[in-house]
Each structure stands twice: as C-alpha cells, then as structure tokens.
C-alpha cells in the first residue's frame, strides 16, 4: 500500500496494490528532465519499488530495463510477475503503463547484500575528488541543468567547472563528481539504480544537447554507506546516433556500490 514517506524519492515512487500483481500510482513531474519527460531512473525505481514487495530478498542485485515510450506525469499502473524465488536470489519482472501504453519493461534480481560472501578481487579505484565542501556546484547560477524537476531532487559537486559545465565544449570522455539527493536521503540499492541515470550525459561535452535511454542495466555491488556518492561516467562511442554510457558509484567510504551501462539515442 502507499505510505507517507519523509523523502521525495520514497513518496514519489510508492504505489498502491489494487489486485494481484497490479499497482497504481500518480507519476509526478518532480522528476522531469529539462526536456519535459520523466527521468528514466525515476521510472525504473517506480517499477522496482512495486516488485520489491513480491520477493523475499531485501536488496536489488541487478536490473535490466528497456524504455519503450517517454514517461509523462499522470495516473499509471505497474504490472508485476514473479519469475523464480531461490535461496539466495529472487527474480521478477515489472511493466509500467500509462494510458494503457507500455512505458518501460524491467527484469530484476534481488538478493541479501549484507549476507553476501565469497572471493573478492577489486581492480578498480574510486574517483580522486576533493571533499564535497571543497568542490563547486555546477548548476548554481549557471542554468546548465534547470533547477526544476530532477534538478531540484539531485545535486552535484565538481572539482572545477570545465567544458559543458563551464559553458563550452570540453570534448571529455569521462566526468568525475559527487552526487546525492538534495533532501538528505541516503541511497539504498534501488536508489542507486535510479541515480546512475540522474546526471547529464557526458556526451553533452561534445555538443549533443539531448539523449534518451533505450536500455539500461545496473549491478548493485554493496549496500552504500551514508553520505555523498563519488561518480565516474564515461562515453567513448557515438555511432549512427546511438551512444553508450558507463556509470560507477562509489560510496563515502571509497568502495564500489553500483555500476551501470546504458544505450541511448540522440534525437
């Protein structure tokens, strides 16, 4: 059932069960992009919050989502299906519909990340960033990301304003920065899956001004510690109007908590 939540992410992604495997909610414009459509990470989280109640495992482990149509504010339904419940993992599917049209299809696996154990080899390193208080807000007073919709829900800190963030082309393939919810909500596994799609794509540093997700896959590696998330986003290939985006999230203790790759189209 829908519950009253203290944070925007929780209240805006909550839905009410209206029957077996069917949920309803009102999609809000509070997570709209500057293009006027719902952010893809927000739509993904709506599906995952509904699905989470149908599997016994507490944490999102992996998810793959295909975006079929833009999401817009208004009444919507989530239809879920449980595929398999095992000892360590549970898998299910969810579809978000608006005006009886499919917006996004999701397949997700849940586990208990607190109980996870096994061989670990970590070959990556966290972004080397100054403390958030020593960085700059790339949005404040610069109109590069509108302070409406998702621009009010998520905030960033960067070591310096370069390229796109400074009002020019930087031709970067990678950006590194801090990110968190503006209302102080700490991230959990489902929030991590939303946040990997919350930042402007690095392809904007090459003069591209719009990008829409076609498919997104996220892997959650650990439950994150409270605080800011260190981000690394990379794009190396724009081919025939399609580009990839790789995203890493590292928590405030310096450990990797989420990875994603998405394929997006430039209109």
pLDDT digits over 192-212, tens only?
999 999 999 999 999 999 999
| Mean pLDDT value of segment 250-261 | 98
Question: Strand 256-265 and strand 242-250: pairing?
Answer: antiparallel
pLDDT of residue 1: 39
How far is residue 27's CA from residue 34's CA, in Å, rounded to a whole number? 16
| Mean pLDDT value of segment 134-159 | 84
**Exposure b/e, 214-230, CB count within 10 A at least 16 = b:** eebbbbbbbbbeeebbb
| Mean pLDDT value of segment 159-174 | 94
Q: Where are the strands (E) in the chain, listed by range?
A: 16-19, 22-27, 59-67, 74-85, 90-98, 101-111, 154-157, 174-181, 212-220, 229-234, 238-239, 242-250, 256-265
pLDDT digits over 97-119, tens only?
999 999 999 999 999 999 999 99
pLDDT of residue 262: 98
How far is residue 131's CA from residue 199's CA, in Å, rounded to a whole number? 19
**Closest to 105 measured CA to CA, from 214, 265, 218:** 214
Instruction: Report residue 177 as tokens.
Output: 């920065």
Average pLDDT, the chain: 95
pLDDT of residue 145: 57
pLDDT of residue 2: 44
Helix (H) or strand (E) holding 195: helix 189-195
Q: Choose the weakest-confidence range: 58-67, 127-136, 137-146.
A: 137-146
Helix (H) or strand (E) holding 47: helix 40-52
Give the pLDDT band of residue 232 (cuts 50, 70, 90). Answer: very high
Instruction: Report residue 265 as tokens.
Output: 């189209």
| Mean pLDDT value of segment 165-187 | 96
Spatial contact of 252 and 225, defined as CB atoms under 8 Å apart: yes
| Mean pLDDT value of segment 72-93 | 97
3-state secondary structure of 137: coil
pLDDT of residue 3: 45
| Mean pLDDT value of segment 26-42 | 95
Q: Which residues are CB-neighbours of 262 under 8 A, at least 6 positions away? A: 196, 197, 213, 214, 215, 216, 217, 244, 245, 247
pLDDT of residue 140: 82
Cα 187–chain centre separation: 11
Report the 10 Å Cβ neighbour count for 110.
27
* Percent of the chain scoring above 90 in pLDDT: 92
pTM, full prediction? 0.95
pLDDT of residue 6: 84
| Mean pLDDT value of segment 139-146 | 66
């Amino acid at each position: 059932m829908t519950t009253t939540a203290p944070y925007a992410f929780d209240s805006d992604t909550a839905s009410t069960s209206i029957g077996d495997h069917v949920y309803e909610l009102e999609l809000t414009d509070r997570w709209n992009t500057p293009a006027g459509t719902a952010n893809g990470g927000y739509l993904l989280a709506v599906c995952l919050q509904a699905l989470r109640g149908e599997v016994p495992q507490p944490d999102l482990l992996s998810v793959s989502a295909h975006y079929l149509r833009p999401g817009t504010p208004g009444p919507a339904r989530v239809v879920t299906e449980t595929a398999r419940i095992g000892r360590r993992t549970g898998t299910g599917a969810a579809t978000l519909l608006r005006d009886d049209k499919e917006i996004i299809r999701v397949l997700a696996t849940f586990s208990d990340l607190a109980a996870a154990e096994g061989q670990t080899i970590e070959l990556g390193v966290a972004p080397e960033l100054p403390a958030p208080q020593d960085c700059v807000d790339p949005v404040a007073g610069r109109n590069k990301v509108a302070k409406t919709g998702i621009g009010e829900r998520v905030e960033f800190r960067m070591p310096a304003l370069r390229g796109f963030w400074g009002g020019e082309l930087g031709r970067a393939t990678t950006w590194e920065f801090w990110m968190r919810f503006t209302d102080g909500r700490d991230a959990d596994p489902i929030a991590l899956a939303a946040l990997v799609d919350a930042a402007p794509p690095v392809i904007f540093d090459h003069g591209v001004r719009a990008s829409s997700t076609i498919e997104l896959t996220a892997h959650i590696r650990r439950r994150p510690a409270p605080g800011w998330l260190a981000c690394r986003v990379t794009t190396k290939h724009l081919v025939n109007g399609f580009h990839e985006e790789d995203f890493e999230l590292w928590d405030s203790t310096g450990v990797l908590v989420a990875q994603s790759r998405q394929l997006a189209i430039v209109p």
